[in-house]
Structure 1
Amino acid sequence: MLSGDDYNVVGKCDKSTQHRFTAIGVLVACIFVLCFISCYFAFTKLFQNYYTGIPIGLFFAWMITNIYLFLLYTLSKTGFPYIPNKPARYVATTIRLVFIAFIAIVVSKPIESLVFSKQLALEMQSFKQDKIERYEKSTNVFFADEINIIKDIIAQQKVLNNVIDEEQLSNYNELIRSKEEERDRLIKSMRILVGKSDYYIQGMIILNTKYPICWAITLFGIIIFIIPTYLKIFIHKDSIFYKTKHYIESYLVKYEYELFKEKYSEIFRYKYGIDIQYTECYTDPPFNTKRKIDKRERAERTVLTEDDLLNSLYAKV
Structure 2
Amino acid sequence: MAQQDAQPLAQFVPRFRTDIYPFIAPSKFRGSLQDKVTIITGAAGAIGQGLAESFAVAGAKLVLTYNRTPPPPALRERCLKFGASEVTFVQCNVAELEGCEGLVRQTLELHGRADILINNAGANGLGPLHTQPPEDFIKEIAVNFHGPYYLMRLLLPHMREQRSGVVLNIASRAGTVAIPYSTGYCASKAALINLTACVQKEIDVDGLGGEVCCYSLHPGGIKSAMTLKKYSAESVAALPAQAQAKFVNALDIYDDSPYLNGMVCVALATGVGKDVLRGKYFDVGQDLEDVLAQGEALKQNPDLYGLHTSFLGGLKNGGVPEGGYRREEWGVEFPGFEV
The TM-score, its normalising length taken from structure 1, stands at 0.23
**Higher strand fraction (1 or 2):** 2
Q: Larger C-alpha radius of gyration, 1 or 2?
A: 1
Higher relative contact order (CA 8 A, sep 6+): 1
The structure carrying a bigger helix percent of its residues is: 1
